[in-house]
Each structure stands twice: as structure tokens, then as C-alpha cells.
């Protein structure tokens, strides 16, 4: 792709109305646009990265055997009244709106209720269970403050998975599979080493909920990490009893700031009882379905990557989610660079060629800001010895390869 | 895929609260779920079809060179006040909501204003133009009545493309390219023969707008069709002057009911002037950008397909958008059918195998209801001569092929 054709321009200056690093960098790089506080549009490069994150999540959910659906943002009160989550006294982040034809609707901040209701129309027997359903869908939360960029938005993308079981034991086993799928996702996103399975408050649902917390200076959460066991405890349940229960030694724990990137709730029968989601057992009894829910925010994950995988020059994308892998920069060798771009694209390898009429310094600064994994410099000096310079954005390592081997190098190094 | 694993069950009875054929059929087939009037969730098979429609549209937009982005549903008043489209007196289908932190937001029913605003930050020179940007995104319209299923929803998916030009002539040329892209889309969806380029009211923007109208009994619109020229005139501009201007002979026109499936508005400078979207010309003058907008509803198109490509037995999906191409049904030959499913899926061909413990009659009825393009029957009778029966859902044509040739047959007949 030609950089001159990308409509979203880079910016030298930080936006004045942002405090979060992720928002500052992503706006400067032209990945996102701020619509209002906590509300961000995704521009071409940003949408490519967001879609790649979604696709990784989708693949892992499909491997689990979960079925993808798409529920709605607009929510009628009836279902939520049954679980006592409609009132603003009970849930403090609803966006509510009025129907012209009369009556109120809310904008979904989560979807336990509608999922339980849909299942109540489709599940009748133990033979229908277990099953798991997920969506990657836009959620709305009426946050009082929204200063964390795309890490905590008022409108954001969420992958929410719900599982349905005949009993608690089956749910317990299934949640371990989801835990593994989440770990696969963090591995593929390059944040597994600093992401910890964390015990947190179960709220009204159960003793604990489980979170995945990624270490980050900008984190809103405080956790106590056991590096060896790769386990952590959220401050909200950091008590002597809990540590004892989880076999954790207080002296080995390290206090860290972190960002919640995923969660798991064992919901039990709270929603199925309220919404009439039951099934007939093998012996003919009617019982409520046991539910679990599992959240993961693709746009939040993108914000976390921008926050923790970046330096003072700009973003640093892992290969798996970079909008493209290669940034071609020519120093007065546009024709050669354009030919290389054509060769790469013919081989199905996406690259960005900076064909803009700007200085070399500006091109290098923008390449660092955009953070594509490899920068390829085409210069008269290197062409004299038939070489290209390839620089790894993350490590800074530089290598030289013969010009004609670029496609072969890319096929070897850039395939997932 | 095994049909027993699909959580969404088929229904014999029409839903009581629906009048539109598309909603009745899609709900009975388990493609969609009604959340509330005009608000529908997409279940696994329905989401597959919706995604295939989106992908066809995306490919044609990308071929045009348009860049994909994702704007937000939440809209702050400021931009819309500048174009005088915030007030409920001016726009009668806003959903509005209150921020906890104070102030009002609306849910986007279209996106001319935010696109113009984003472009005002990125376009400065004639060298930045022309450009085209699109999104496939959820829109909200506070419709007083919502009885048309997914053809006119309160929450629905829309592809909206916006183009930006230095002058009217460039816009005029570009709109012809979009028109061609739209015709390609209708061709690929199998509705080109009954979809007409239609002159309609330009409203406040221009003399005319252009619609694509698909003939359908359930259509809300009345158009006058010239079959030979493949052109129509919407009733709203059906006057002697307009007919003369478009060189149409009144005696050759046929009055038809139809559904609007796409539209093109030449917006001129209405939005760019209000929102400060201007550029510097080659000679150094500052001028407002000339805009066009181009709508197409993927969920509406799915509803139109359900409405016009169906019979009294159920849905009939074109191959390009069917959730899968093949419906395998076994008459007591489950093992053979399962092996065929494995063979097909190994070859990358999606199929649905009805492995449920229900009667043959129920399987056949459900196959007709779901409307996958080909039904493959595996029976002892046909296996005796090593044959499979393949029935085309649309034409009813039956052919027999050797069992071992199913994958080869599928590769020949089902590839797009």
C-alpha cells in the first residue's frame, strides 16, 4: 500500500486532551480518532490491527467449539428487570434511551440476560448441553470518567463468551479450557510473559472470579504476583485467608500495577433461574442450566499493546497484529521500492511504502511512530552492493539482504 | 458441521408477533432472534450469511480503492448542531441518551458529519483528493413502527461509503464507478435482474438522489420501471418534467412495488462548508471539499434475499451467501454421511450434516426451511448402486453422482 494514499496523517504533537499513552500514540500515528471522551473511531491502520486481534480471538473461540453469533446493543427492560439489573440504582453504567413509540431501551453493557433468554428458547434437554456461544460486539458503558484511551471506553468492542452446562463440575472443567484458550491468545499477542491468571472478587456470583491481568505502569489495578506459579491475587481479595486457600506465600508475592485484559465468571444458576433457562435431566427432572461467562476486550487489548509495547519514538506492534509487517522507505530510490512493493503484494505480503514527498528524517520518524515490525530501507548506497537494510523495530537489530531476496526473506520471516 | 451441535433450533410455527415474511422465515429457520420490535440478533447460520454479504460488499469497496474504517455509534451534539441535524425537529429518528458526567449523546443514524470532521483534520491540499472511505457499522434509527423484520430495523448494519473531491465533475465521474460496484454486488447476490437504478428525490442535497430498488411484493416503495433501459423512477419524482429529462417514455413504464437496497447522494459542499472541510487548490485558493455518500444495508439485503428468494417451504439462498452450500441428509446411513462430511471439510468445503435423531420427513422439511443450495441424500437404496442424490433447492433439479465423486463434484460446482 502507498502511504500517500492513506488518508489518516501522522502528527508530531500529542493531542492536548489525552492523558493516556495509548491514546496519544494511536492518535499521533493515525490509528484512531477521538470522537468524544471514551469514544474512538478506528482509522485504516487501526482497524487492520483491531481486526487481526479479533481474528486471533475468533480462531481460539472456534477451536473451543463455541458458536459465533451477534446480539444487539438495544436492550428492552423486561429481561433485565427479571434479574434486577435494569434499575440505575443497581447498575451504574447504563446508557438509556427513549423509543419514539413509547418505552425505554438500554444499550447493552454485557449480555448475560439476552443470552440466557435465547437459550431458554433453544435448550430443553440435557442432550442440548453443554454448549458455548460467543460474539465480538460493541458494548456501551456510561463511565463517569473516561481518561484511559481505548483501554476503558464508553463504547468498545468486547468478545463475550457464555457457556451452558448441566452441572457445576462440567462448568469447572470447561472454564479450564477457556483459561487455556485465553493463554493461547495472550501468547499469540506477545503479552503472555507479563499476563497473570488472577484471583479476584466473585461479586454476587461466587467466591472468586478469575481475571487475566497484564503488568503495566498505567494499570488501574493492583495485584500481588507469584512469578514462579504465574498466578496473582487482586488487591480486592488480598487477605490471609485467600492466600492460604490458594497456597500462596505472602513473602514471595510482588505488588504490581496491572490492567485487566480478560475475566471469567462462574455464574451458576443466577441468570438461568431468573430467565427460565432450564433443562430436563436424564431422569426426567427439570433443573436450571449452570452458566459461565468469559470476557475479553479486543479494543482494550489493542490499547494495552500500545501502552506496554512502545518506546519514546512510538508504537511497536507484534508481527501477529501489526497492520502490515513491512515499512518500505526509499532514499531517492522510489522506482526500486515501488517494484519491491509490487513483488511483495503479488506474493500476498502486505507492506506500506512511504512514497510521500517528505524528508528522509520525517519518513524514519513516522516509521518509528507507526511501529510496523520491520523497516526496509532502499538507498543508492546499499543498492550499489545490491543490498537492502532491514531493521527490526523492537530489537533495533539491523541486517542486510540481497535485493532480490526480499520476497523470500519475507516469506520466511513474516508468516505467522 | 453437525446439525445436532447447532444450538438454534428450527420451528414449525410462524412467530406470532411478526408480519414480514423475511422475519417469519429467518426466525423459523433459526437464522435470527427477535430481541424487540425492529431489533434482531444474528444466530450462527444467520451470522454466516450476513458475513458473506458483508465480505462481497467489502471486496467491491476495496476494488474501488476505498479505505475501510470503523466510526462510532455514540455521537456528541457539536458536529450535528453545525449542520442543523441535532434537533429532533429536524431529524425524527434520533435515539438520544444522557451521559452520567453530564450532557447528551445520540446514536448515529448516518455518519456524514463525523466523516467530514475527520477529513477536516487530514485533508489540506488538492493533492490529498480524491479519496473514499467506508465502514460496515451498526446504525440506530428510532423508527415509530418496525414491522418489516430485518428490512427496516431500529438497529441494523450499514455499509456507508463517503467520497471527497475537488470538484463536482470528479464526484460525477466517481459516482458512476460506485454505481458499477453496486451493480457487481447485486450481480453476486443474485438479484441484479430485478434491481433497478432509480431516480429519486434529492431532498435538500440536490435535484435527484439515486436509489437501487429491488422488485418485491413486500416493497414499501412504488417505482416506474423501464425494463429495456434497466432504469426506474421513484413515485416521489414521477412527473412529466422528470420523465422528459431522463428521456423516459411514460407508456413503456410499469408500476412496481420495490425495496430500496442502496442509495447514492451527491452532497456537494453542504457538510464540508458547515464542518470546515476545505482544501487549498493548485492555484492556492481555499475551497470546500465536494462530497458524495453511498449507502447499502447488509442486513436489509439479507432480508430482501429471504423475502424474494424463498417459497412456501422456506428459504432459498444463493450459493454466494448461503451459510454452507451442502446439506447432508442420511436415511439410516449416518456413518457414510459422517465420512462424507469429514472428506468435504478436509477439502475446505463447508457442509451441514443433519445427524439429529428425528424422522426423515422432519429432516427434509428442515432442509427446505434452511434453504442451503444443495441437499445431498445418503440412503441405502442409492448406496446399493454407489450413488448419492443431489437436489438443487432452487430449481428442484435432481442428479445422481457416484459416492466417491462428491468432493470433486463440490469443488467443481460450489467454488464461487
Q: How many domains does one find in chain A? A: 2
Q: Closest approach of chain B CAs to the CA of A5, in angstroms?
A: 8
Q: Contact B47/A69, CB-based, under 8 Å?
A: yes
Cα A334 to Cα A273, A349, A353, A403, distances in angstroms: 66, 19, 9, 14
* CATH (domain of A58): 3.30.930.10
Question: Measured between alpha carbons, how far is A278 from A119 in angstroms, rounded to an integer?
Answer: 9
Q: Are residues A72 and A172 in the same domain?
A: yes
Indicate the residue of A36, A67, A96 with minimum beta-carbon distance to B7: A67
DSSP class of residue B399? E
Answer yes or no: is B142 within a domain. yes
Cα A348 to Cα A343, A351, A371, distances in angstroms: 9, 10, 21
Q: Which residue of A has its CA nearest to B9?
A: A122
Q: What residues of chain A lie within 8 A of the CB of B6, using their CB?
A: 67
Q: Contact A44/B74, CB-based, under 8 Å?
A: no
Q: Are residues B342 and B373 in the same domain?
A: yes
Q: Are residues A230 and A350 in the same domain?
A: no
- Contact between residue B298 and residue B57 where contact means Cβ atoms under 8 Å apart: yes
Question: Measured between alpha carbons, how far is B268 from A179 in angstroms, rounded to an integer?
Answer: 53
Q: Is residue B28 pLDDT above 80, yes or no?
A: yes
Indicate the pTM of the whole model.
0.97
Q: What is the mean pLDDT of residues B12-29?
A: 97
Which of B311, B337, B354 is the last residue before a domain boundary? Answer: B311
Q: Is residue B376 pLDDT above 90, yes or no?
A: yes
Q: Which of A104, A67, A294 shows the shortest CA–CA distance to A197? A: A294
pLDDT for residue B151: 97
Residues 6+ positions from B179 with CB-CB distance below 8 Å: B197, B210, B264
DSSP 3-state of B100: coil
Q: At what angle do helices A168-189 and A44-63 cross, to 10 degrees?
A: 140
Q: Closest approach of chain B CAs to the CA of A141, in angstroms?
A: 10
Question: Measured between alpha carbons, how far is A337 from A342 in angstroms, rounded to an integer?
Answer: 9
Q: Are residues B247 and B391 in the same domain?
A: no
Question: Measured between alpha carbons, how far is A90 from A85 in angstroms, rounded to an integer?
Answer: 6
pLDDT for residue B408: 97
Question: Measured between alpha carbons, how far is A406 from B381 in angstroms, rounded to an integer?
Answer: 58
Q: Contact B73/A73, CB-based, under 8 Å?
A: yes
- Residue-wise pLDDT for B317-358, tens only, equals 999 999 999 999 999 899 999 999 999 999 999 999 999 999
Q: What residues of chain B lie within 8 A of the CB of A144, using their CB?
A: 100-101
Which of A258, A290, A311 is the last residue before a domain boundary? Answer: A311
Radius of gyration of chain B (CA): 24
For residue B270, the number of C-alpha atoms closer than 13 Å in the C-beta half-sphere is 17
Indicate the residue of B39, B74, B98 with minimum beta-carbon distance to A155: B74
Count of positions (residues) in chain B: 416
Which of B253, B281, B311 is the last residue before a domain boundary? Answer: B311
Q: Are residues B215 and B280 in the same domain?
A: yes
pLDDT for residue B416: 63
Answer yes or no: is A145 within a domain. yes
Q: Is residue B204 pLDDT above 90, yes or no?
A: no
Q: Closest approach of chain B CAs to the CA of A43, in angstroms?
A: 5
- Residue-wise pLDDT for B41-61, tens only, equals 999 999 999 999 999 999 999
Answer yes or no: is A318 within a domain. no
Q: What percent of chain B has pLDDT over 70?
A: 100
Q: How many CB atoms lie within 10 A of CB B241?
A: 8
Residues 6+ positions from A162 with CB-CB distance below 8 Å: A111, A112, A115, A132, A133, A134, A291, A292, A293, A294
Q: Are residues B89 and B195 in the same domain?
A: yes
Mean pLDDT by 10 residues, chain A (416 residues): 96 95 98 98 98 98 98 98 97 97 97 98 97 98 96 97 98 97 97 97 83 95 96 95 92 96 96 98 98 97 97 97 98 95 96 96 98 97 96 98 97 87
Answer yes or no: is B170 within a domain. yes
Q: Are residues B103 and B220 in the same domain?
A: yes
Q: Closest approach of chain A CAs to the CA of B45, in angstroms?
A: 9
**Per the structure block, which three cell numbers stand in for A61?**
473461540
Q: Is B100 exposed, middle or buried (0-12, 13-18, 19+ CB in 10 A)?
A: middle
pLDDT for residue A335: 95
Q: Are residues A364 and A393 in the same domain?
A: yes
Answer yes or no: is A367 within a domain. yes
Q: Is residue B203 pLDDT above 80, yes or no?
A: no
Q: Are residues A44 and A182 in the same domain?
A: yes
Question: Measured between alpha carbons, how far is A413 from A406 in angstroms, rounded to an integer?
Answer: 10
Q: What residues of chain A lie within 8 A of the CB of B100, using their CB?
A: 92-93, 142-144
Q: Is residue B229 pLDDT above 70, yes or no?
A: yes
pLDDT for residue B34: 98
pLDDT for residue B415: 78
Answer yes or no: is B316 within a domain. no
Question: Measured between alpha carbons, how far is B182 from B192 in angstroms, rounded to an integer?
Answer: 10
- Residue-wise pLDDT for B176-191, tens only, equals 999 999 999 999 999 9
Answer yes or no: is A351 within a domain. yes
Q: What is the mean pLDDT of residues B209-225?
A: 95
Q: What residues of chain A lie within 8 A of the CB of B350, using their CB?
A: none
Count of positions (residues) in chain A: 416
Q: Is residue B205 pLDDT above 80, yes or no?
A: no
Q: Are residues B223 and B343 in the same domain?
A: no
Question: Measured between alpha carbons, how far is A153 from A145 in angstroms, rounded to an integer?
Answer: 9
- Contact between residue B262 and residue B295 where contact means Cβ atoms under 8 Å apart: yes
Question: Measured between alpha carbons, how far is A188 from A186 in angstroms, rounded to an integer?
Answer: 5
Answer yes or no: is A317 within a domain. no
pLDDT for residue A42: 98
Q: Contact A73/B40, CB-based, under 8 Å?
A: no
Residues forming a β-bridge with B226 = B231
Q: Is A11 exposed, middle or buried (0-12, 13-18, 19+ CB in 10 A)?
A: middle
* CATH (domain of A405): 3.40.50.800
User: Which domain covers residue B68, as residue numbers?
Assistant: 3-311
Q: Closest approach of chain B CAs to the CA of A34, in angstroms?
A: 9
Q: Which residue of B has its CA nearest to A34?
A: B118
Question: Measured between alpha carbons, how far is A62 from B350 in angstroms, rounded to an integer?
Answer: 14
Radius of gyration of chain A (CA): 24
Q: Is residue B33 pLDDT above 90, yes or no?
A: yes
Q: Is residue B403 pLDDT above 90, yes or no?
A: yes
Q: Which residue of B has its CA nearest to A93?
A: B100
Question: Measured between alpha carbons, how far is B384 from B378 in angstroms, rounded to an integer?
Answer: 11
Q: Are residues A23 and A134 in the same domain?
A: yes
- Residue-wise pLDDT for B108-159, tens only, equals 999 999 999 999 999 999 999 999 999 999 999 999 999 999 999 999 999 9
Q: Are residues A265 and A353 in the same domain?
A: no
Q: Contact A133/B95, CB-based, under 8 Å?
A: no
Amino acid at each position: 500500500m502507498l502511504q500517500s494514499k492513506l488518508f489518516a496523517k501522522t502528527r508530531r504533537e500529542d493531542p492536548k486532551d489525552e492523558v493516556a499513552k495509548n491514546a496519544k500514540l494511536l492518535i499521533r500515528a493515525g490509528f484512531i480518532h477521538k470522537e468524544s471522551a471514551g469514544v474512538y473511531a478506528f482509522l485504516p491502520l487501526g482497524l487492520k490491527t483491531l481486526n487481526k486481534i479479533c481474528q486471533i480471538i475468533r480462531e481460539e473461540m472456534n477451536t473451543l467449539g463455541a458458536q459465533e453469533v451477534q446480539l444487539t446493543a438495544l436492550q428492552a427492560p423486561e429481561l433485565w428487570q427479571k434479574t434486577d439489573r435494569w434499575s440505575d440504582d443497581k447498575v451504574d453504567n447504563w446508557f438509556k434511551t427513549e423509543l419514539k413509540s413509547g418505552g425505554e431501551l438500554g444499550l447493552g453493557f454485557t449480555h448475560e440476560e439476552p443470552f440466557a433468554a435465547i437459550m431458554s428458547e433453544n435448550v430443553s434437554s440435557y442432550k442440548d448441553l453443554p454448549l458455548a456461544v460467543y460474539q465480538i460486539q460493541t458494548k456501551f458503558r456510561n463511565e463517569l470518567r473516561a481518561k484511559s484511551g481505548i483501554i476503558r471506553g464508553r463504547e468498545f468492542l468486547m468478545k463475550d463468551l457464555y457457556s451452558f452446562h448441566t452441572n457445576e463440575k462440567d462448568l469447572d472443567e470447561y472454564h479450564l479450557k477457556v483459561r487455556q484458550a485465553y493463554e493461547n491468545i495472550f501468547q499469540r499477542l506477545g503479552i503472555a510473559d507479563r499476563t497473570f491468571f488472577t484471583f479476584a472478587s466473585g461479586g454476587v456470583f461466587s467466591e472468586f472470579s478469575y481475571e487475566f491481568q497484564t503488568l503495566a505502569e498505567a494499570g488501574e489495578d493492583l495485584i500481588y504476583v507469584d512469578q514462579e506459579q504465574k498466578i496473582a491475587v487482586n488487591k480486592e481479595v488480598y487477605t490471609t485467608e485467600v492466600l492460604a486457600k490458594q497456597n500462596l506465600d505472602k513473602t514471595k508475592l510482588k505488588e504490581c500495577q496491572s490492567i485487566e485484559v480478560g475475566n471469567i465468571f462462574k455464574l451458576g444458576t443466577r441468570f438461568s433461574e431468573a430467565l427460565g433457562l432450564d433443562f430436563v435431566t436424564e431422569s426426567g427432572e427439570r433443573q436450571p442450566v449452570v452458566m459461565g461467562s468469559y470476557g475479553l476486550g479486543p479494543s482494550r487489548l489493542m490499547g494495552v499493546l500500545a501502552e506496554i509495547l512502545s518506546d519514546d519514538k512510538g508504537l511497536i506492534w507484534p508481527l501477529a497484529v501489526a497492520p502490515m509487517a513491512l515499512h518500505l522507505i526509499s532514499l531517492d530510490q522510489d522506482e526500486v521500492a515501488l517494484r519491491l512493493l509490487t513483488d511483495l503484494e503479488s506474493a500476498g505480503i502486505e507492506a506500506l511504502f512511504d512514497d510521500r514527498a517528505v524528508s528522509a528524517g520525517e519518513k524514519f520518524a513516522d516509521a518509528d511512530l507507526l511501529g510496523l515490525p520491520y523497516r526496509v530501507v532502499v538507498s543508492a548506497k546499499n543498492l550499489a552492493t545490491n543490498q537492502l537494510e532491514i531493521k527490526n523495530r523492537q530489537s533495533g537489530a539491523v541486517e542486510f539482504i540481497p535485493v532480490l531476496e526480499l520476497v523470500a526473506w519475507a516469506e520466511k520471516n513474516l508468516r505467522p
